[in-house]
Structure 1
Amino acid sequence: MMKFSSCAAALLLAAGLAAADRQLFSIARGGAVFAPFNKTDKVKVAGDRLALELPPKGGRWRGTIVTPKKGEKYFDLSKGAILAVDVRNNNKYPMQLRMEIVNLKEGKNSNAFAHIAYSSIALLPGEKAPLRVRYGRAVKESSAWAPEGMQRLPDGFVKGDHKIVPDRVAQLRIWTSNPDADRPMRFELSNFRVEEPVKPLPEALRSKEAFYPFIDRFGQYKHADWPGKVTDVAQLGERKLAEDRELAANPAVPGRNRFGGWADGPTFGEKKGGWGTVKYKGKWFLTDPEGKLFWSLGVNSIQLVEDPTGISFRENYFEELPPNEGAKKQFYTRKAFPRFGFYKGKGGNRDTNILQFYFMLHNVSLKYGDNYARKYLDRSQERLRSWGFNTNGNWLDPEILNRPHLPYITCITFKKFYQVIEGCKQIGWQKFPDVFNPDFAAGIAEALRGHHRNTVTDENCIGYFVDNELSWGKTDTFLAEGALRSPASQPAKIAMTEYYRNKYGNDIAALNKVWGTGYAGFDAFLNSTAMPAEPEKARADLEEFNDVIVNRYFRTCKEVISREAPGKLYFGCRFNDRNEKVIATSAKYLDGCSFNLYRPEISAWRLPAGVDMPVIVGEWHYGTAANGPAHPGLQPAANQAERARGFDRYVRSALWNPQIAGVHYFKYTDQMATGRPADDENIQCGFVDVTDTPYREMVDAARKVSADMYRYRLAEGPGK
């Protein structure tokens, strides 16, 4: 077979893609109809360009709905795999724009979506770039043999977003919700087109017999190919040797001290000796033990044993699994399952009956051979330094702390003492912890004295989170209502009863008069699990006790950390919702706040009015359905190049933002193509795939933005 140089191959690929581009319609010739989302949105055609002028105060969504020209019902996207439009950001600040490809259900409701594929773009001030949406094909109706246990299925199956019927596209929706900025938004759009030659769907989708097994021996989807896919065990060793040479040639980004702080930047003598925070030239930073500015660029979930995939009830999915015996037995597990997903209840009363397999761990053993666990974990730290990261994010394998490692922020976890408020409706991952149970504080203390004890004296430990994505509710009475609905044995219910007994001078009649209730006494109040018939009358009291719960939660965490791990920073609970009052209250106790922000960019994101402190973004990512796992995640990209671009722009938008002191990417490895048992997530969002092969585009993007990050932070953004 003829061999091409990498340069020649790239030119041929570019030429092929360019040849495949097909204009979807002509703006200048009236090839489509552009309607504003809101009356205040201005949509204007100027030659071959479309101008969007969106006011700072409009509807929740602002932009344009694009439909075919009069006489045509659908756009036909069947000649390509990606829809693209060139977008210019005509603003003096970073902005984001989203495009959705929509199939509608039959009927007159223009918001009744049958299928949808979407993506977003983040643009620097004045920047012009293509917004690309990859769309799979929803052409095969769900059947009795469609694979299960995955949030998204491969191209061709109907289930899940990011797939459409390509020749029946009724709308394109182009919009921004701009939740963070009270400022006008101006964009220019041009050249709507389809890109990338569409490949026929795999023949294997024709029947159950042809489709199964659909996962190869490495845990990869069998019925598609992509750059970097492993086809032979020998390739694993070859890639290891190639990466050995690359890491040796690029050991670290220059200009950093041993912690990853800015070696060439200012030194804050009063901050030496531990980790701290400082606002320098209007921007928040952490400071490292040498007193240097430290902006935290990190990666989550560097773990040796993580995210197995379920085998039980799906044995026919897998082409080849090693025997569950002898040396290979270590790659199997029978862990318990949580409350939702494909495996919910399938283990009966013994969820540990469900067999699972660690594909990543098995591939790592094949790649590194003897002492593979140590070699894999050591390599993670070498990679992060080489790629420009200076922080290990949450969910770090504890074994890493026994060898040279980067600084880290870790989450204090404890289950033995963790009681929840039973009356709290479960709207997130878990019910809210009962902070009135003395064991809550005892649990944090025991964790810091126990399995987190090495972190307390580790100079590379920046600090701690406690909990992850707690459910605070959208109202300022949510937690108090949970306590009110709880049984008499609940410590929070007991504390609530005593709080109101004291407030009303042990006079239940006084409480009944305010609440419009008829409790016989405070014992009856304690034993009731019902909400008042007229909850509005009790709102003020419930808000008061809600504040008591919130303050007690953050105060307890801060006091225990300060006592048990002096000098370490407390970064809160990794908010994923936005209750303004709770966030403002938390700031009284935190050294830095933490949020999980899955967005295209965060340049204008802000804490509540009057709150100013450093913020760590605990999670965010970009993914694509073009490389194995079918789920492109919460910020889908068209391909690896677009993922890398998204990574760069997200980091730059955070550097632009004065309150952001660091961002931690989720996550180090892809999720399994067949889903994690906890909730069926099967997202391609990692820096390395299931065979431990790094994504070159992501590595290059990280190195580039990291090399420039301290200069960029001080040179760009508000006031510059």
Structure 2
Amino acid sequence: MKRWAWWLVAGLGLAVPMGAGATQVADLTAPAAGVRVGTQHVTAAPAAETAADGVAQRRYTFTPSPAPALTLAPAHGAWDWRSQGELHLRVQNAMPWAVTLDLVVDSGQGQHLQATVGLPAGPAQTLVLPLAATSPLAFGMQKGPARPFDDDGQRILLATAVSGQLDPAAVHAVRVSMPAPQAPQSILLGRLDVVRGTPLLQAAYTGIVDRYGQYTRGQWPEKIADDAALRAAVNQRLPAAATARMDRYGGRLDVQLNGTGWFHAQKADGRWWLVTPDGHGFFSLGVDATVADGTRTYVEGREAMFRDLPPDTGAWAAFWGTGDSRDPQRGAGAGRCCEHGRWFDFYAANLYRVDGKNWLAAWRTRTLARLKAWGFNTLGNWSDPALGAMHQLPYTRELELRGDFGNVSTGHDLWGRMPDPFDPRFAPAVEAAAAKAAQGVRDDPWLLGYFAGNELSWAAWGPGGRWALAIGTLRGEARSAAKQAFIADLRAKYGTPDRLAAAWGIALPTWQALAATNFPAPEPDAAHPAIAADYSAWLSRYAGQFFRIVAAAIHRHDPHHLYLGSRFAMKTSEAIAMCAKYCDVVSFNVYADLPQHGFDAAAMRQLDKPVLISEFSFGSDDRGPFGNGVVSVETEAQRGVAYARYLQAAASDPDIVGVHWFEYVDEPVTGRLLDGENSHFGLVGITDIPFRGFVEAVRKANAAVRH
């Protein structure tokens, strides 16, 4: 049921100027001029109440329903906000937990702006909604400051991601709703204003990074204020590494298997194991991206975000550089600003502050000691090669699949388009990549194996996403080698275009029509099962061609070590089956609460190949960086709980042979160079200070698995 309360003064539909650059639209504590307030499954308290700061507010309770809403509209006509840039709403969460609010501003021609914010428990604040579409990408990062911050004594909560369009000359309504509350939820509301320009949007991104790369407006136990505190925190004493009952590679002495002199995979008593060169069972506990140079962030074009940056001269010059991360074929970070130009490396600069000119050697020694003390036994993908060469932990290598070969777009080209393995230039490029990766390590028993590719676009999102590679192949250019191979398969099966047309339910006068660029490949449907059957056959052939070529190149240049797969994210059953056929281990990047929720465990059991979880993590937003990763938890303490639960589930699965955490160091507050990702899921912060509570929880969980 929807109710309208008419709060009218002299029948005016005009906003009332309130000074200080703000124009009042409505006051939700008392009758307002020319405004009507509608409620749908929302009840208002009969009287206002006074907040701790002396400001009047009224309590509104959103009752269980799909979308209880409070709507404000002008009594007559529409609001003209052409000179306004932000909407400000006084709001306080009356619950002891966070609630979610959906904000919508409706205007003429069916246009509207929409944003979703998390309203934390605590004191009142000003909720700021920019009156134009925006996102953190406009400021060069993937996530913006979603937690409240102080601006000259005013507590601000910014809607960092606003989508849609607005006709500012004809604003019809402002709606505040909650998505499907399961119990009554109350908030306190006050004035609704609009202001000129975007002062608080700009303030939210100004002066947010200090000289150490830390977020200036947050506090947490590991945050430091001076160099002395930095050195003391970085050099904390470590617990002794648990090496009892382990061989030199970290294998379990109580699990005796076949020793070959190299890492390999073996199934014993119904369970898959990685096996050390000395012949002992090895559950790989790895950390990805253990590097000292992975946290650079662009400064150029965003100078106002940074406070007290060191000069680009003298000893500090080593931590400045230039880069260009623009790539029109990569979807990750698309549309962001400030993706090229000058960058600064806060992490490396902090290491210099701690250890002076020999900072890199000191970091390598300290990092290996930490990983061993915390119970890790593997250096995961993208880690510093020098760490592996020190022969203290087994390590992995990556084949960089780059070259001038063709590609296929699936529409989900997060890290670029899918390599075309039918292009005659693909195999030589893989050959060169394998030779480069194996150089100097093919005879090293500490090498675990090789990955080739990461989160390749085997599929796309959506219900029809599993067919995206087949559809993308047929929609590709006429000269595409993959397309020509697919057409050859179809011609061999059907013989004539009319037989294919009948099976697929399409018009196809000639084979040349199928070869045309942008051919409208049909989506599979129940009436034409041949489409799905043909697409499935093609997906198998495509994946088989890819994995066969890569496996042959790896084993030609290194006959000793494992091919660890290609780190599936988007995937199809056909691609997984071909990976299992040609690879020694099938790897999945599984961002979920449990590893088994990221792949088909029953299917893998049928394929009878070991599984490596090559990426997982849990993030929170209470340690500086704004992002909390793909799988988020509310607090830092919950990260350790989630880690232990995930690891226990992996170790108890007879097909899983290891898990690799992503990643060693937190990402920069303002985003990494590659794509602006800026999440907190590190073992250590940008200052190289370990997150003590989390790493202790990790150490205990790792010890439970290794023993």
TM normalised by structure 2 equals 0.72
Match of 1:150 among 134, 141, 144: 141
Describe how 1:602-641 pairs up with structure 2 within 5 A. Answer: 602=595, 606-609=600-603, 610-641=606-637
Aligned residues: 569
Aligned to 2:449: 463
Match of 1:304 among 281, 292, 309: 292
- Of 472-481 and 699-708, more deviation after overlay is shown by 472-481
Match of 1:78 among 89, 93, 100: 93
Report whether the alignment pairs 1:530 with 2:514.
Answer: no
Give the Cα separation in 1 of the matches to 2:123 and 2:492. Answer: 61
* Amino acid paired to 1:102: T
Match of 2:471 among 481, 500, 506: 481
Aligned to 2:421: 435
Report whether the alignment pairs 1:499 with 2:492.
Answer: no
Match of 2:251 among 239, 261, 273: 261
Q: Structure 1 445/509 Cα, relative in aligned 2: closer, same or farther at 3 Å?
A: same
Match of 1:590 among 583, 587, 591: 583
User: Is the Cα–Cα contact under 8 Å of residues 594 and 617 in structure 1 kept in the other structure?
Assistant: yes
* Amino acid paired to 2:474: L
| C-alpha distance after superposition, 1:27-66 (max 9, x if no partner) | xxxxxx9xxxxxxxxxxxxxxxxxxxxxxxxxxxxxxxx9
Greater C-alpha Rg: 2
User: Is the Cα–Cα contact under 8 Å of residues 82 and 638 in structure 1 kept in the other structure?
Assistant: no
Give the Cα separation in 2 of the matches to 1:497 and 1:136. Answer: 64
Q: Structure 1 256/153 Cα, relative in aligned 2: closer, same or farther at 3 Å?
A: same
- Give the CA deviation at 1:315: 0.6
Match of 1:102 among 83, 100, 103: 100
Aligned to 1:643: 639
User: Is the Cα–Cα contact under 8 Å of residues 140 and 158 in structure 1 kept in the other structure?
Assistant: yes
Report whether the alignment pairs 1:573 with 2:559.
Answer: no
Describe how 1:202-601 pairs up with structure 2 within 5 A. Answer: 212-241=206-235, 243=236, 246-247=237-238, 250-263=240-253, 265-268=254-257, 270-337=258-325, 338-339=327-328, 344=335, 352=340, 354-421=341-408, 423-473=409-459, 474=464, 477-504=467-494, 507-508=496-497, 511=500, 514=503, 516-522=506-512, 525-532=514-521, 539=531, 540-601=533-594
- Of 392-401 and 575-584, more deviation after overlay is shown by 575-584
Give the Cα separation in 2 of the matches to 1:143 and 1:518. Answer: 49
- Give the CA deviation at 1:606: 3.9
Give the Cα separation in 1 of the matches to 2:321 and 2:680. Answer: 23
User: Is the Cα–Cα contact under 8 Å of residues 397 and 451 in structure 2 kept in the other structure?
Assistant: yes
- Give the CA deviation at 1:407: 0.9
TM normalised by structure 1 equals 0.71
Give the Cα separation in 2 of the matches to 1:576 and 1:335. Answer: 28
User: Is the Cα–Cα contact under 8 Å of residues 447 and 453 in structure 1 kept in the other structure?
Assistant: no
User: Is the Cα–Cα contact under 8 Å of residues 424 and 485 in structure 1 kept in the other structure?
Assistant: no
Aligned to 2:11: none
Give the Cα separation in 2 of the matches to 1:517 and 1:613. Answer: 43
Q: Structure 1 528/696 Cα, relative in aligned 2: closer, same or farther at 3 Å?
A: closer
Give the Cα separation in 2 of the matches to 1:151 and 1:582. Answer: 30
Q: Structure 1 169/251 Cα, relative in aligned 2: closer, same or farther at 3 Å?
A: farther
Give the Cα separation in 1 of the matches to 2:160 and 2:124. Answer: 10
- Give the CA deviation at 1:436: 0.7
- Give the CA deviation at 1:434: 0.3
Report whether the alignment pairs 1:656 with 2:652.
Answer: yes
For residue 297 of structure 1, give the secondary structure of its aligned residue in structure 2.
Answer: strand
For residue 416 of structure 2, give the secondary structure of its aligned residue in structure 1.
Answer: coil
- Give the CA deviation at 1:224: 2.1
For residue 377 of structure 1, give the secondary structure of its aligned residue in structure 2.
Answer: helix
- Give the CA deviation at 1:428: 3.0
- Give the CA deviation at 1:679: 2.7
* Amino acid paired to 2:681: C
Q: Structure 1 585/494 Cα, relative in aligned 2: closer, same or farther at 3 Å?
A: same
Structure 1: 5+ residue runs without aligned partners? 1-32, 34-65, 84-100, 119-131, 162-167, 175-189, 195-204, 712-720
For residue 369 of structure 1, give the secondary structure of its aligned residue in structure 2.
Answer: helix
User: Is the Cα–Cα contact under 8 Å of residues 133 and 638 in structure 1 kept in the other structure?
Assistant: no
* Amino acid paired to 1:622: F
* Amino acid paired to 1:554: F
User: Is the Cα–Cα contact under 8 Å of residues 475 and 521 in structure 2 kept in the other structure?
Assistant: no
- Give the CA deviation at 1:608: 4.6
Aligned to 2:116: 115
For residue 278 of structure 1, give the secondary structure of its aligned residue in structure 2.
Answer: strand
* Amino acid paired to 1:316: A
User: Is the Cα–Cα contact under 8 Å of residues 341 and 677 in structure 1 kept in the other structure?
Assistant: no
User: Is the Cα–Cα contact under 8 Å of residues 587 and 611 in structure 2 kept in the other structure?
Assistant: yes
User: Is the Cα–Cα contact under 8 Å of residues 391 and 446 in structure 2 kept in the other structure?
Assistant: no
For residue 575 of structure 1, give the secondary structure of its aligned residue in structure 2.
Answer: coil
* Amino acid paired to 1:706: N
- Give the CA deviation at 1:341: 7.2
